[in-house]
């Protein structure tokens, strides 16, 4: 994906800058649920906080869009995959390594899922994470950072989504693939419950989230189709998507995941700076572009940072105060990791991709 321009902490992509703002929203949602940000503010505050877990679905939809776009623009599959891997893997390896070391030396307590599922911070756990194969063993899949289960899923779909899109070829076939993976995940959840007594082996696997990546890929194809001529009633579609997004946050519905995914996809399809300034202006403000640019670091590091603050007895008991402290501290750390790790490795990925045959 070619950047239009870039400053120290702002990545911009022209008419899709608002997607960077959506990344900021998704990362903030995830931090909110882990810090119980608004849990003291009644039913609505609790619903918004609880909806934070669906921030990963927004990330997955955006990733599906990015995969389809990057693959379409790449010279070949090797070039595409090099860019994607270098975008996500180096920082992930760093986060896993640092967290594992801190756990081993006792600076951090065993994370929740490590305790809950009885895994250990051993070489097996470490290598399963580094190899991106951790989703094959649910007892280690989310045992180090508390959020890392999503990264091997992203890498899996980096590898396999482009070939599947090649065979799908049309929007309708891509939608058909979404439907297939939707029902496949429901089927596998039932099998997992029967075999293991838990749905975690499927929840933390690529099969459970394939539908989100295909929603994102479909949004890329539809956006390309409507680039010059907006879809009929695009203003209503955009307004409806924003309303659906807000409703999913406050209603606490069991369908919030799908509602947030589809509303994100509709915005990706329909929004341009000329069509919906009331949406793009807040999402492309400098603070939102800044937070969206460092959102990957925000996502990876906020739980270890919260754990470290807890060990130092610095965490306030009030949810909103806890959110503000954890979020602010993680932003500072993320600025460093973005400048020192993400930007250099992204540039290296670009150079390697240009040399890929």
Whole-structure pTM over 0.75, yes or no?
yes
Do the strands 5-6 and 11-12 form a parallel or antiparallel pair, or are they unpaired?
antiparallel
Residue numbers of the chain with a pLDDT score lower than 50? 1-4
Say if 354 falls within a structural domain: no
For 183, the domain range is 5-347
| Helix-then-strand count for the chain, H and E | 18, 2
Q: What is the dihedral of CA 141, 142, 147, 153, to 10 degrees?
A: 10
pLDDT score recorded for residue 30? 98
pLDDT score recorded for residue 6? 55
Say if 97 falls within a structural domain: yes
pLDDT score recorded for residue 357? 57
Say if 144 falls within a structural domain: yes
Say if 356 falls within a structural domain: no
* 108 φ/ψ sector (left φ>0, alpha ψ -120 to 50, else beta): beta
Q: What is the DSSP letter of 197?
A: S
CA Rg value for the chain: 20
Say if 352 falls within a structural domain: no
Say if 95 falls within a structural domain: yes
Residue 5 three-state SS: strand
pLDDT score recorded for residue 8? 62
Say if 355 falls within a structural domain: no
Say if 324 falls within a structural domain: yes
pLDDT score recorded for residue 1? 40
pLDDT score recorded for residue 332? 97
pLDDT score recorded for residue 2? 43
Cα distance between residue 14 and residue 36, in whole Å:
35
Number of domains in the chain: 1
């Amino acid at each position: 994906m070619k950047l239009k321009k870039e400053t120290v902490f702002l990545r911009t992509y022209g008419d899709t800058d608002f997607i960077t703002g959506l990344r900021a929203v998704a990362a903030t949602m995830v931090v909110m649920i882990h810090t119980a940000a608004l849990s003291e503010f009644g039913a609505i505050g609790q619903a918004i906080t609880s909806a934070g877990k669906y921030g990963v679905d927004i990330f997955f939809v955006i990733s599906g869009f990015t995969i389809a776009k990057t693959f379409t623009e790449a010279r070949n599959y090797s070039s595409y995959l090099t860019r994607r891997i270098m975008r996500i893997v180096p920082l992930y390896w760093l986060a896993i390594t640092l967290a594992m070391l801190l756990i081993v030396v006792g600076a951090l307590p065993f994370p929740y899922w490590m305790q809950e599922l009885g895994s250990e911070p051993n070489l097996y756990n470490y290598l399963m994470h580094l190899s991106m194969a951790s989703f094959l063993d649910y007892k280690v899949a989310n045992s180090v950072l508390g959020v890392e289960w999503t990264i091997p899923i992203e890498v899996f779909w980096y590898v396999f989504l482009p070939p599947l899109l090649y065979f799908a070829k049309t929007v309708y076939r891509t939608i058909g693939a979404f439907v297939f993976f939707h029902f496949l995940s429901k089927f596998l959840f039932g099998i997992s419950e029967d075999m293991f007594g838990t749905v975690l082996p499927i929840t933390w696997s690529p099969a459970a989230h394939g539908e989100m990546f295909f929603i994102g890929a479909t949004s890329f194809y539809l956006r390309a189709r409507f680039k010059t001529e907006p879809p009929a009633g695009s203003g209503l579609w955009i307004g409806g998507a924003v309303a659906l997004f807000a409703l999913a946050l406050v209603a606490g519905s069991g369908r919030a995941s799908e509602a947030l995914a589809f509303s994100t996809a509709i915005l990706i399809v329909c929004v341009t700076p000329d069509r919906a300034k009331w949406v793009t202006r807040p999402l492309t403000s400098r603070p939102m572009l800044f937070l969206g640019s460092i959102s990957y670091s925000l996502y990876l590091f906020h739980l270890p940072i919260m754990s470290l603050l807890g060990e130092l007895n610095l965490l306030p008991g009030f949810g909103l105060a806890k959110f503000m402290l954890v979020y602010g501290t993680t932003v500072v750390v993320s600025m460093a990791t973005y400048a020192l790790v993400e930007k250099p490795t992204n540039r290296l990925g670009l150079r390697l991709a240009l040399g890929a045959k």
